[in-house]
């Protein structure tokens, strides 16, 4: 039986939330659709990144010229800056071959990179999106409002949660905090260490595990590097709270995954597009973070309520929206 195919292009072989979203969407396509992944980015030197882009471009050209492998929809997953400049070339290639195009904006700093509605970047992107008749997807109503004057044909579809995630009913380690994110200053690793150090004055058994870093000078901080999907799920189901002290986020998938697992989340007030079940503290305000964590680490957790708060992000529900969008593009 013939099924239309969507090709997801982006950093699916790299660590991070965007890659996880791509893998979830490809492994669980909407009903009546097939899906493939095409990696276009790697972690490494500028030369390695350039080779990955060139390889992906050549692969796409080959697929577009072969009726047996040609996708019906090319779904581009993009961050800001060079990520978009690479993706626009894929968009132009796909449209020239008669494929429908989806541009899926993930970055939490896309608005600051793009600038005003009259900036040269905005005008160029408007031209690209209009010339390829692309459907532009943002992650939340917040982002739809942010870009409402920049782009037409905006669709709001939130990040999906994998069906493998289950709400944990096991007893959690009340002295174990978690941060999941790449080693980047915007993710707040150093701030999380400072918070933990202060809290340990009253809770000397408290410890912190963080991805993105391999080691730390403090013996009560565990650097995990990058963890497998299985290890991530184990951490989400056993720790006491997830810290998200980021400067900005698009819509952090790890927050949705934590809540689905029944894990409380404390995030910076600069992190939006997340459910009301997330507790917020003022960005970089040590006193506020310590006070909020004092409460979270002591109170009884209603894991079922946390999990229910993100039920609309489960892949089965998100795929209703993706199927409507894909089917609509094909008419």
Q: What is the pLDDT of residues 256-303, one digit of tens each?
A: 999 999 999 999 999 999 999 999 999 999 999 999 999 999 988 899
Assess whether 16 and 156 both reside in one domain.
yes
Quick check: is 170 in a domain?
Answer: no
Quick check: is 167 in a domain?
Answer: no
Q: Residue 104's beta-bridge partner residues?
A: 77, 137
Assess whether 121 and 253 both reside in one domain.
no
Assess whether 17 and 155 both reside in one domain.
yes
Cα distance between residue 304 and residue 179, in whole Å: 22
Domain containing 13 equals 5-160+314-330
Assess whether 302 and 202 both reside in one domain.
yes
Assess whether 86 and 232 both reside in one domain.
no
Question: Which CATH number is 203's domain given?
Answer: 3.40.50.2000
Assess whether 321 and 307 both reside in one domain.
no
Count of structural domains, the chain: 2
Query: What integer pLDDT is reported at residue 168 of this predicted model?
Result: 80
Assess whether 243 and 319 both reside in one domain.
no
Query: What integer pLDDT is reported at residue 255 of this predicted model?
Result: 97
pLDDT, tens digit, for every residue of 90-102? 999 999 999 999 9
Query: What integer pLDDT is reported at residue 1 of this predicted model?
Result: 65
Residue 125 has pLDDT above 80, yes or no: yes
24: its two tokens: 């979830």
Task: Tell me the percentage of the chain whose pLDDT exceeds 70.
Answer: 100
Quick check: is 10 in a domain?
Answer: yes
pLDDT, tens digit, for every residue of 54-110? 999 999 999 999 999 999 999 999 999 999 999 999 999 999 999 999 999 999 999
State the sign of the Cα–Cα–Cα–Cα dihedral 144, 116, 250, 192.
negative
pLDDT, tens digit, for every residue of 136-164? 999 999 999 999 999 988 999 999 999 98
Quick check: is 281 in a domain?
Answer: yes
Assess whether 125 and 268 both reside in one domain.
no
Assess whether 10 and 154 both reside in one domain.
yes
Assess whether 84 and 215 both reside in one domain.
no
């Amino acid at each position: 039986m013939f099924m239309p195919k969507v090709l997801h292009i982006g950093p699916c072989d790299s660590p991070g939330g965007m890659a996880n979203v791509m893998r979830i969407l490809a492994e669980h396509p909407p009903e009546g659709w097939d899906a493939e992944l095409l990696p276009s980015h790697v972690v490494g030197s500028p030369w390695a990144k350039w080779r990955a882009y060139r390889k992906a471009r050549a692969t796409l050209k080959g697929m577009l010229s072969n009726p047996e492998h040609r996708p019906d929809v090319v779904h581009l997953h993009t961050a800001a800056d060079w990520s978009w400049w690479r993706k626009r070339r894929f968009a132009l290639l796909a449209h020239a071959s008669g494929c429908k195009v989806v541009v899926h904006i993930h970055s939490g700093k896309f608005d600051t990179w793009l600038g005003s509605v009259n900036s040269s970047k905005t005008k160029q992107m408007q031209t690209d999106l209009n010339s390829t008749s692309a459907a532009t997807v943002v992650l939340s109503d917040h982002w739809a409002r942010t870009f409402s004057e920049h782009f037409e044909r905006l669709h709001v579809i939130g990040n999906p949660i994998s069906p493998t995630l289950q709400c944990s009913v096991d007893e959690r380690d009340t002295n174990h905090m978690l941060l999941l994110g790449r080693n980047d200053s915007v993710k707040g690793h150093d701030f999380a260490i400072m918070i933990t150090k202060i809290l340990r004055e009253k809770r000397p058994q408290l410890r912190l595990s963080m991805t993105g870093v391999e080691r730390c000078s403090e013996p009560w901080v565990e650097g995990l590097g990058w963890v497998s999907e299985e290890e991530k799920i184990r951490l989400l189901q056993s720790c006491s709270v997830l810290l998200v002290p980021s400067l900005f986020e698009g819509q952090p998938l790890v927050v949705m995954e934590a809540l689905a697992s029944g894990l409380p989340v404390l995030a910076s007030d600069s992190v939006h597009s997340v459910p009301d079940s997330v507790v917020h503290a003022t960005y970089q305000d040590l006193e506020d973070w310590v006070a909020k964590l004092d409460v979270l680490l002591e109170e009884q957790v209603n894991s079922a309520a946390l999990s229910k708060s993100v039920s609309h992000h489960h892949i089965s529900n998100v795929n209703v929206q993706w199927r409507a969008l894909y089917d609509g593009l094909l008419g």
